[in-house]
Structure 1
Amino acid sequence: MTRAVPAAPPSSGTAAPLRPVLAALEEVILGKPVQLRLALACLLARGHLLIEDQPGVGKTTLAHALARTLGLGFRRVQFTADLLPADLLGVSIWDAAAATFRYQPGPIFSEVLLADEINRATPRTQGALLEAMEERTVSEGGVTRPLPDPFFVIATQNPAAFVGTSPLPEAQLDRFLLTVTLGYPDPRAERRLLETGGRTGTVRDLPAVLDAPGLLAAQREVDRVHAAPALLDYLQALARATRESPALAAGLSPRALLALLAAARAWAYLDGRGMVLPGDVQAVFPALSAHRLPLRDPARPGEDVFARLLADTPIP
């Protein structure tokens, strides 16, 4: 059995401007450093984030705080059963004075969009959002309009057992790069919340420590993080392990494997390194696999299956 290899300790690399972002986020979202780093890595890899959790654990605060610290525009859309695609994407309105149709952009034209409780909307509206996420454009009235760059969607969904939910199909779930669960705070963080009345830090107090051009530059640097041939061998071995695992109903697709490499590059970048290590892959693998790899036994914890896969896959 091969033991998991942790990522190398941080070095003074080009990710230095992003460290204040994580520090600021940790003042608002207490006791969740791994989830915050996964969210930032997801954005750096040009992906989209899915958060599955119950209400009241900080999902909206995380999305708003991330946009604030990065100096990005932020919009929130509450997904409900009566939300129409046009409510999200925008619609053409007849302008009588100009005798022409005028396009009114929807809230999707934002650098950071929080799609709150996405599984309460109809499949038609879900599909409209996920298509725009994939294409990064909106087509209406025969005109294709590009979405902002950067463009980052954080979607939240309630657990499937909640009333009024419409599960996302597997093909649409694949549009999200990573999934995280915030969960309850640890006792220390919860005690601090109680002692301060929840006023440990507010989104309004967060400084903008970066801006859109700075973030785009960081994303380009992530693309240049080196992945050695041996690292690619490891990725392929891990993909084969998922496809052959009796615990999984399906394995990683080629697109998912590319997503895993992108997320691992972002994780390495946040450590200030210009090279991906196996530990980077292992760090992001559970968050990338949670919504992609269906379990044959739903009662078995996915974390156990993914940990076993990582432990049993030899590292070159």
Structure 2
Amino acid sequence: MKMEKTSAPKGRTNGSKEQKKENRYGWLFISPYLIFFTIFTGIPFLIAIVMSFLNVKYITRLDNLKFVGFQNFIKIFKNKEIIASLLRTFQYSLVYVPLIMVVGFALAFILNKGVFLKNTTRSLVFMPYVSNMVAVAVIFKVLLGNNSPIIVALRNMGFNPPLLLQDLKLALPTVAIISVWKGVGLNMVVYLGALQEVPSELIEAAQIDGATKWQRIRKVIIPMISPTTFFLTISSIIGSFQNFTCIQALTEGGPGQATTVMSVNIVRTAFTKFDTSLASAMALIMFVIVMIVTLIQWRGQKKWVNY
């Protein structure tokens, strides 16, 4: 008995060709990003890992390069200034992350309702995010400086206001709050999109069941937007470690060492002390810390994120 050959359906063949064509177009569109990411991020990252195990001093002759193992990492944990800058980084994050999350959600919740000049207010809140950080720093240095109109007016009224950017205890939280003011627009926009996707039927059902406004927020809205909260939490934590521009523009790590966080210390170590290998090791430690925090959040999302 002869077996008849079965041919693949034309629809499946055409679909396979279309899928391959779409894949080629997809790779074509993302290839510029992949190329630039590899050149400007991937390769420097690998070089930094290698340098952290060498004795590179900014400009070092190749014949003087030596493999020093974990000496740079041991030096970091023996250096009190570096450990202090790492602790300040955590202090900065403890102010920045909760504040930008809470304020971002509050603004989105308010502006999701029918408020006066809703679209204009949304644009005004988002505007600082697209502003240049150096320009923002100049404005706040004028506003919070010794001879600023606000400080002078308060003194004339009989008050003795603190100079927030020059106070040893207040400088770091002040810089963190300014960073929140600049970056909260992005969180607001992302939360706004998530709030608009919450089914109104669920909120109306909770209202019919007698839930108060706060209960509706806590029991319905917050669980429904938990994937957005998870994404913004990770991005905010990573952003809190990338704080060099803000601090350098506002305080340059001062007063004293009050705002010298790890990112500022890395740049100083590399380009002032010219100890490139030590700076690479410090950057690698920061990367490991961010990865550990992200992995902990990723594992813990199963308990509080609802997809």
TM normalised by structure 2 equals: 0.25
TM normalised by structure 1 equals: 0.25
Q: Which has the larger radius of gyration?
A: 2
Pick the structure with more helix per residue.
2
Pick the structure with more strand per residue.
1
